[in-house]
Structures are given as C-alpha cells and as structure tokens.
Chains A and B, each alone.
Chain A
Amino acid sequence: EVQLVQSGAEVKKPGESLKISCKGSGYSFTSYWIGWVRQMPGKGLEWMGIIYPGDSDTRYSPSFQGQVTISADKSISTAYLQWSSLKASDTAMYYCATGSTVTRFDYWGQGTLVTVSS
C-alpha cells in the first residue's frame, strides 16, 4: 500500500526558516515523482513543484520558484519543502503527493498545516 506520511503542524514567526517532510513507503521511492501542493485557508489547490528522487530532477511553478526549495533524500525515502524566510502569506496547508508520471498525483499525504504569525 502506497503511503505518504507528512510531518506535523508548525507555528512559526515571520522571517524564520522551516523544512517540512514527507516520507514515502509501499512503492519504489526513486521511480515516482513527488510534488508539493499549497492550499491557503478556504482556497483552491496550487501546484508548487515536483522532484524525481531518482536523479533529483526538479520543476517549479513560476509562482514558487525562488520562494521555496524542494529536495529529496532517497536513502530515507523522504521529500522536503523548505523556506528560508517565512511570511504571513505562507500560512496554508501543504500536501505532498506522488505519481507514476510527472503529469499527475496518484497518492496524497495527509497535509501539514503551516501557520506564520507574529
């Protein structure tokens, strides 16, 4: 059974850094793309970016390029989403999701709620 387990909720202050994680199991971690999706409170889904852990090929949406970093550690089947300096507008639920192709997400994690507030 494919499972993606995300790290727990975070409460941070503006300007702080953060790295959230997503651990995959039940499939070949290096053979599936894994991406991140943002959902701001009461809003829709936004495609942020995606990585292929097998060779670290990474694509970003222009809206998120330079704002976040996506990475993966294939030795522990874990993908990451990180910020160097959080803003209040980063407050959202963040989902990781994986797919056999770069074009879609077949399986989703449970989500990580990030709250940024002074």
Chain B
Amino acid sequence: SYVLTQPPSVSVAPGQTARITCGGNNIGSKSVHWYQQKPGQAPVLVVYDDSDRPSGIPERFSGSNSGNTATLTISRVEAGDEADYYCQVWDSSSDRGVFGGGTKLTVL
C-alpha cells in the first residue's frame, strides 16, 4: 500500500516561512492535497491538486510537488497558523485515499 511520510513537527518564528514535507514513492505523479486541523476542530482543505488554493485560503499558503516530495509552504507565519497539517493523495493502484501521519506546526 502507498505510504506518505511527514515530519512529526516543524517549528518556526512568527513572520518566517514554514515548509512541511510529504514524502512518497514518485509522489510527483500524483495530486497532493493538504489539510489544516486546529485543536478541537474539523480539518480544512488549504491546498489541493499540489498548488491550488480553495476560496478563502490566504495566498500565504502554497504547495509544490516533484519527484518523491511534496511541500506545503506557509509564508509570513502567524500565531493562528499553529495546527496539525496532513497531506493526502489518491492511490489509484488500490483505489483508496491515503493520509500522511501529520505534522504539528509550532509557532515560537
């Protein structure tokens, strides 16, 4: 089965740039989606199809995907960005969705 690997935690100071990676075998050939989950809340889609943003998501959130790594980039990080972030793909070989293990973003 397809496996997505994320770092458990990333820390960044306010105003700096946070980069959260999602590793998978030839993930560059798949569409990657990213979700933000704040404590006690349901997840929210923040980036889809590698680099597109849903309506209402700030431009500070961007994504890229190539080779074996997809990356969610959050520019000018704010305290309100502190959350867990999950990557997700559709594994067409097994006809199911897969989530990464999640990354906790801490704003110092």
**Secondary structure type dominating chain A contacts:** strand
Residues of B within 8 A of A45 (CB): 35, 37, 43, 86, 88, 99, 102
Q: Write the A65-90 contact mask toward B (1 if CB under 8 angstroms, else 0).
A: 00000000000000000000000000
- B-contacting 9-mer, from A11-19, A24-32, A97-105: A97-105
Q: A41 near B: Cβ within 8 Å?
A: no
Contact between A104 and B48 (Cβ–Cβ < 8 Å)? yes
Task: State whether the Cβ of A110 lies closer than 8 Å to any Cβ in chain B.
Answer: yes
Number of interface residues of A (CB under 8 A): 24
Contacts of B86 in A (CB 8 A): 44-45
Number of A-B contacts (CB under 8 A): 64
Is B42 a contact partner of A110 (Cβ separation < 8 A)? yes
Q: Is the CB of B43 within 8 A of A47?
A: no
On chain B, the number of residues with a Cβ less than 8 Å from chain A's Cβ atoms is 26
B90 touches A44 (CB 8 A): no
Render A104-116 as a binary contact track against B, CB cut-off 8 A, 1 for contact.
1111111100000
Main secondary structure of the interface of B (DSSP, over half): strand
- Could you tell me the distance between the alpha carbons of A17 and B33 in the complex, rounded to whole angstroms? 34
Assess whether B98 is interfacial by the CB under 8 Å rule.
yes
Please report the C-alpha to C-alpha distance between residue A20 and residue B67 in the assembled complex, in whole angstroms: 40
Nearest CB of chain A from residue B34's CB, rounded to whole Å: 10
CB within 8 A of A102: which of B35, B84, B90?
B90
Identify B42's interface contact among A49, A59, A102, A111, CB under 8 A.
A111
**A73–B74 Cα gap in the complex (Å)?**
40
Give complex CA distance A24, B13 in Å. 39
Q: Convert A1-22 into 0s and 1s, putting 1 for each residue whose CB lies closer than 8 angstroms to a CB of B.
A: 0000000000000000000000
Residues of A within 8 A of B100 (CB): 44
Taking Cβ atoms with an 8 Å cutoff, the residues of A that contact B are: 35, 37, 44-47, 49-50, 59-62, 95, 97, 102-111
